Structure 1
Amino acid sequence: MITGPAPAHLDGVSDYAGRLADALDGAGVEVDAVPLRPPAPGRWLAATVGAVEEVRRMRPDLVHVQFAPSAYRFSALPGLLPRLLPSGTPLVTTIHEYGWWAAPGWLPGRAWRPLERLRLWDRETALLVPASHAVVVTNPDHGAEVRRRTGRRPVLIPIAPNVPIAPNVDRADSPPARAETRRRLGLGGDGFLLVFFGFVHPVKGVRYLLEALPALRAVRPGLRLVVAGGFTSQALPEGEARAFRRELEALAARHGIGDAVTFTGYLPGPEVSALLAAADGAVLPFTAGVSVKSGALLAALAHGVPTAVTVPDDPDPRLRDGENVAAIEARRDAAAIATTLRRLIGDPALRTRLSAGGRTLAAGHTWPAVARAHLDLYERVLAHA
């Protein structure tokens, strides 16, 4: 399984690949990870050639590439893998990001279309989509775009939660554990614990959430927000991450809510699970909107946390306002966030309904099911390779 160079705690795709490998191991598939690590900054061709040499030594039954432009620092060179692999190597590619990037970016869309329709080249993945024996997408939108550009029918395999429920932290079964987590955060009896979980990046909308907090604290003075997640990631290098954290901390101080916000930084999975199990609500105010392709959303829903989400331009039909999520109708809008969260905070019956509906939705997204779907795909590819 070929992945980008970043470790799991810095990159969502690497985290996904590690969880998939573990699940496949449970299904009887032996997985060897081959990260593309440039020997020096920017040397992606050398990294690609090195990965191919390692694959040649391993002589695997099948090669599976996990692809996102950000995972390879927006280099098109890893997309040459199909040309470099031994002839006839069964190849599967999973696309985690698609429909918004091209290399080179200056080439107009009409110039790409004949190359993509003839399956000679793909503007985002180079040779990966055209030359793979099977292409996997994690959501229908990416699948529709692949079909529109290339005529190929990719295989849809949705993701599963990126944080499993840790032992002894289930919301219903462990009130002492919940109480201990809340005590450590300094929540009193009237406290409302609101959690944002995931990599903290400008596109996640946290700055608008902070701007909404004063209005929410006026309604519920004991409300506390925990922003749980690392700032440094493959998409936000360390220097930019430090600057962004300072910006958010300054914004919280400016709005007089510094004492109501906790930035945890990166947390191990069991600690995130304990936090979600103790939460009264979660909020994911992404600037592009939220769909079921979000592992953070699935983690919150699997933990039974009533969750508020922004709505994308093309809403995910599986997310239903008042049934399994609370919809924030406008993006990049503090007032819209405050409106939805006031509804969530003030309506215990709504929270109970969302908790149950969210668990039901998340129950259809499990790692054993993801592994079975991949195993079925691998067997089909190998049968026709």
Structure 2
Amino acid sequence: MPYTGIVKYHVKLSFEVDGLVERADIIGAIFGQTEGLLGPEMNLNELQRVSKVGRIEVNTFSTENTTKGDALLPMSTDIDTCSLISAAIESIDKVGPFDSSFRLDDIEDVRANKKQDILQRAKEIKQKWSTNSVSEGQEMLEEVHENNSEKITTYGPKKLHCSTGIHDSKWVILVEGRADIINLLRAGYDNALAFEGGRIDESIKELCEQKEKVVAFTDGDRAGGFILKELKSVVHVDVELRADTGIEVEELTPKRVDEILAPVKKQMEEELSAPEIKNVDDGPLAELCKNKFSELNESLEAIALDSNDTEVFRVAIPELVGKITGQSGIKYLILDGIITQRLVDAAKTAGVESIIGHRTAKLSNSDGVSLKTFRELGIASN
């Protein structure tokens, strides 16, 4: 009967007989001297009948007075049955009229070897495939990664990593590290800044003051909670977001990143698209600013005007606060930038009546100074 079982184990034995015998003698001894030892259901004949034992292979090597060799039994039983059959064969002490000894050398798990062969073959297939063809998807991923790397720059004296779009965006997303920024870029968000570590650099505060909304997006582990607390001690956070429990921001899928951030993004878009109510009393100021807007827009400069609408000075935005300190006679400040609390405080001291810019940052106190945006005056659409 052909063997149809699935081989699980190879039982390997060696033997020595004090006489000259043939291969058939060894097989006869294995079947005959184990019969009845372990019960009828464990007889090798019965196990072969039900395809639990395959064809026994025997090799013999004869010398002048002895016969040595090895035997292999393919088996599809459990390991307990293999052990019992092996012990029964080791009990054989006669082959024909000659004394003999049998010894178990190994019970080899064929499936383990097969798994190893499959693994090795899989490696060979992968190597051949990758050598002959480059995955189009991999090329796309690498291209995206390169593009994302180009969209990362640094901010402040500590060279904190940030997205290149952070300066133009009206809101900022504070994350823990550079890898988080890259993951947000994959999801389409280019307004992230990494505070990089538990100690929050003071330069972040200055940037956040210029934004209309500050979002903290931290990891979903215990450390993320501590870092969020430290962050809030330095800057005002409008929205607190966390990655899923036990997950880091860099590990989130782009889809999940968007699910978490999308409500904030939508709110910002709605606020920016809401119509402004123009004050009819702003007509003269609007006319004055309209004439200056074309000169200033995208120049990153500011103009100071006196009560006669005469230009007092023109200066780059980073130098503006220092320039107005100690000045007097300035009525209007028109700037191609954001109106910050630091600028408002300096303007109060200098006696400035009105400041006009693109946007107004979150302010704790602006009493005494009129603040307007180009959008409110109907000069610019955003």
Structure with larger RCO (C-alpha < 8 A, sep 6+): 1
Q: As a proportion of its length, which structure holds more strand? A: 2
Q: As a proportion of its length, which structure holds more helix? A: 1
Q: TM-score, normalised by structure 1?
A: 0.20
Q: TM-score, normalised by structure 2?
A: 0.20
The structure having more radius of gyration, on CA atoms, is: 2
